[in-house]
Amino acid sequence: MSLDTNSNSSSGSRNSSTGRAQYKIVEHVEDLDRYCPGGYHPIQIGDDLDDGQYRLVDKLGYGGYSTIWLARDLRRARYVAVKAITADASACTPESSLIHSLVKSPSIPGQEIIPRLIDEFWMAGPNGKHRCIVTAPAQMSLLDAKEASVFGLFQPKVAQSVIAQLIRGVAFLHSEGVVHGGNILVQFPTSIDRYSTAELRERFGEPEPEAVVRLDGKPLSNGVPTHVFPPGWFGVRSEEIAFGEEKVILGDFGESFNPHKTPRFSSKTLPLLQPPEARFSDEPLSFASDIWTLACTIWEVLGQRPLFDAFFPNADRVTAEQVEVLGILPPEWWVKWSRRKEWFNEEGELDVKPGTSKGLNCERKTWGQRFDYCIQEPRVEVGLETVTEIERKAFEEMLRSMLVFRPKERATAHQVLHSQWMKEWGQPALEESWNTSRAVPKGEQIK
């Protein structure tokens, strides 16, 4: 689980020794070399898909095995997201079947965070056959919203509501035997459907095509698009998300798995969110790993900066941050960590000389100090309500139960769902939000 929505990066030429086409570098688009047999489908903004039902109007994002597009459903006068999956992943991806299997009775708490599968169809092209998944469109990721803001904060009740949605959603997924491992997105408000394509672009800007150019000057092959598009920006700054419009959905179910059926031993989440067992344990990752990542995400939603805030976060610096905040690792992990002496003595006490702190302060920054630095002080700076001492205590108790080093000793999603913080702050905020937006799903109640 991550606040982010895609892995924007540069795409361009590779070493000629690979024998593959080389292209002029284009920033913030998918890997151009993956426009090849088995790879991406070369679709463009303006294309009509599935017998003309969906017209592509902009780019929403991309990943290693798909491109995601904002499309107008011409038959139902609404906007949708179309995920076009690479040909080599289309036959084996379980994403659509997983989403479909998770959509059950609307009265099940937490299910509202699962994107609804609107449609599914196939496209044939020069690079193969591609599965396309149609869902409600996401406006932005939570990370997008924070990064667009000068202060990187959500309104207090918005933060409480988002956290409650995440906890409910993860509890639902775990009850269905699913570890999420994907991204967190904010849905478009339903009012977006009233905009024509021209009005949408007047408000959010025109798509910005970038020409695809081979470095050797040869013409493009049939499977390569003439232009690619960086994702458009349809979001708002985090502090501008109105209470009642903070509906989040979980994305990227291609990274989800059932730990009882598919053992995994490595985590693809961002380094600052990765659980320590992904590095030190020989046991496969499971639901407890999701709980660790959820706790780190919850902290970021409530405050401005991450709990583990390593500069250039490689594995050792992240581990050092975890030890600084939570204490010494379990003995069998402690001895495995070969670089521990660069930061700590054998008792787990910070032991660095001034000027050689390797990214850590010379004095230990406690949980309480981090809470003030990451959450309370930024809120005071921008005039937002700070967290009361009663809520702060309940919040810390909930998160510390989720951030126990040994996975088997961590709180379960069910226990987090019934924590004091959820009962007294998270659930009431979510219920108030639903009443504000009149968006309570039929038959749904906070339970």
Query: Which tens digits make up the pLDDT trace of 385-425?
Result: 999 999 999 999 999 999 999 999 999 999 999 999 999 99
Kindly tell me if the per-residue pLDDT of 131 is higher than 70. yes
Kindly tell me if the per-residue pLDDT of 53 is higher than 90. yes
Q: What is the mean pLDDT of residues 79-106?
A: 75
- Around 190, how many Cα atoms within 13 Å sit in the side-chain half-sphere? 4
Cα–Cα–Cα angle for 335, 340, 345, nearest 5°?
Answer: 95
Kindly tell me if the per-residue pLDDT of 25 is higher than 80. yes
- Per-residue pLDDT at 98: 59
Query: Which tens digits make up the pLDDT trace of 241-262?
Result: 999 999 998 877 666 767 777 7
**Residue 1 structure tokens:** 């689980």
In the chain, the percentage of residues whose pLDDT exceeds 70 is 85
Q: What is the mean pLDDT of residues 269-277?
A: 87
At residue 264 the predicted structure's pLDDT band, cuts being 50, 70 and 90, is confident
* Cα→Cα distances 369→146, 211, 363, 376, Å: 22, 49, 11, 10
347 vs 95, more confident: 347
Kindly tell me if the per-residue pLDDT of 358 is higher than 60. no
User: CB neighbours (10 Å) of residue 119?
Assistant: 15
Distance CA 141, CA 84 (A): 19
- Strand extents, DSSP E, 315-385: none
Spatial contact of 299 and 309, defined as CB atoms under 8 Å apart: no
- Per-residue pLDDT at 365: 87
- Per-residue pLDDT at 444: 44
Distance CA 431, CA 446 (A): 7
437 vs 162, more confident: 162
Q: What is the mean pLDDT of residues 328-351?
A: 93
Q: What is the mean pLDDT of residues 171-188?
A: 86
**Residue 27 structure tokens:** 């920033």
Kindly tell me if the per-residue pLDDT of 165 is higher than 50. yes
Would you tell me the crossing angle of helices 427-437 and 156-175 to the nearest 10 degrees? 110
Give the DSSP per-residue string, 173-195: HHHTT-B--SEEEEEPPGGGGGS
User: CB neighbours (10 Å) of residue 120?
Assistant: 17
Kindly tell me if the per-residue pLDDT of 70 is higher than 60. yes
Say if residue 104 carries a ligand binding annotation: no
**342: nearest Cα among 351, 355, 354, 333:** 351
Kindly tell me if the per-residue pLDDT of 9 is higher than 50. no
At residue 91 the predicted structure's pLDDT band, cuts being 50, 70 and 90, is confident
> What φ, ψ does residue 13 adopt, rounded to 5°?
-70, 150
Sequence-distant (6+) residues with CB within 8 A of 423 are: none
* Cα→Cα distances 321→294, 364, 369, Å: 17, 10, 14
**111: nearest Cα among 161, 185, 171, 164:** 171
Kindly tell me if the per-residue pLDDT of 96 is higher than 90. no
Spatial contact of 26 and 219, defined as CB atoms under 8 Å apart: no
